[in-house]
């Protein structure tokens, strides 16, 4: 088996499991991911939701803080939470800041010389990991959705928009919705992709949504109005306005009074996101 079981815990009739494996697209580094398998998976393959976490996170932040397993168990969904970057690449500077390098892969495939061997999180979450999950775990790869928070919300939006038909729908919490125009995105894109802004546009949801072609794509998002990164880093309205130009994308973007950037917000609204997914998956 290509997966190594690190640990497991019984939850809501199913199992939360953490696995490790060697990632070829990330330069043969060991990666970990967490998965919730509901009881239904013991008898048949189940739909799967990929959840992409934000800056500084690992696979365990969503798994332990979002409170998603109860509703996923009721709906019969598997939940897969990958890490947010390669680990242990030993690249000079990769651990110097919270918003670039370790814990901050930004779900792109790096093209700059220093990072391109290891920092290929886009290919990891859209190709290598789903293929591994489909071959090794009881999930129905034809019925999958993607979700994410902050940097992972950016990841959720771009992976759905860049791969028409791969995901039945996408959801996001406080996504970095226009990274080309915020400090977080500009720093990451310059480091991983270089100075050419046409390369940046290929990983920017507010650019990608304008030209999306494919099956109708439902998108659901929540943004807290007490979020200290809103609007400057997240630029929600830029995405909302861009999406209005494309009738192939259906966007429901909610603004929540008093809610911030934390997992308390996510835990409050996670059931709404899973229920939205259930309508489409």
Place of tokens 């293929």: 131
Residues 6+ apart with CB under 8 A from 112: 191, 192, 193, 194
Write the CA distances from 247 to 5, 210, 212, integer angstroms.
44, 9, 9
Residues 6+ apart with CB under 8 A from 21: 2, 3, 4, 30, 31, 132
Of 23, 59, 227, 273, which is the active-site residue?
227
22/187 Cα distance (integer angstroms) = 28
Residues 6+ apart with CB under 8 A from 166: 126, 144, 159, 160
Q: Which two tokens stand for residue 260?
A: 């911030």
Of 34, 85, 150, 206, which is the active-site residue?
150
Residue 101 near residue 85 (C-beta atoms within 8 A) = yes
Residue 266 near residue 149 (C-beta atoms within 8 A) = yes
Cα angle at 135 between 132 and 140, to 5 degrees?
A: 105
Active site residue 150: yes
Q: Which two tokens stand for residue 280?
A: 């489409």
Active site residue 236: no
200/178 Cα distance (integer angstroms) = 10
Q: Which of 117, 130, 196 is nearest to 163 (CA)?
A: 130
Active site residue 99: no
Of 149, 261, 273, 280, which is the active-site residue?
261
> Which are the catalytic amino acids?
150, 227, 261
């Amino acid at each position: 088996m290509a997966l190594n079981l690190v640990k497991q815990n019984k939850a809501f009739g199913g199992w939360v499991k953490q696995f490790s494996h060697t990632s070829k697209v990330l330069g043969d580094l060991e990666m970990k991911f967490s998965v919730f398998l509901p009881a239904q998976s013991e008898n048949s393959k189940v739909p799967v939701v990929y959840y992409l976490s934000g800056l500084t996170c690992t696979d365990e932040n969503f798994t332990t803080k979002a409170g998603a397993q109860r509703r996923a168990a009721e709906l019969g969904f598997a939940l897969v939470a990958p890490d947010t970057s390669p680990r242990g690449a030993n690249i000079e500077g990769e651990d110097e800041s919270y918003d670039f390098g370790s814990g901050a892969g930004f779900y792109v495939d790096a093209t700059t010389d220093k990072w391109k061997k290891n920092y290929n999180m886009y290919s990891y979450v859209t190709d290598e990991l789903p293929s591994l999950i489909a071959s090794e775990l009881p999930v129905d790869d034809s019925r999958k959705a993607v979700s994410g928070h902050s940097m992972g919300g950016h990841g959720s939006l771009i992976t759905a928009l860049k791969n028409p038909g791969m995901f039945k729908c996408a959801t996001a919490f406080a996504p970095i919705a226009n990274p080309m125009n915020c400090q977080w995105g500009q720093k990451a894109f310059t480091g991983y992709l270089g100075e050419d802004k046409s390369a940046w546009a290929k990983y920017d949801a507010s650019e990608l949504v304008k030209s999306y072609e494919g099956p109708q794509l439902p998108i659901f998002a929540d943004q807290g109005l007490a979020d200290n990164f809103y609007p400057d880093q997240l630029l929600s309205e830029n995405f909302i306005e861009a999406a209005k130009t494309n009738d192939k994308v259906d966007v429901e973007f909610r603004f929540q009074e008093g809610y911030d950037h934390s997992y308390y917000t996510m835990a409050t609204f996670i059931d709404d996101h899973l229920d939205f997914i259930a309508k489409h998956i």
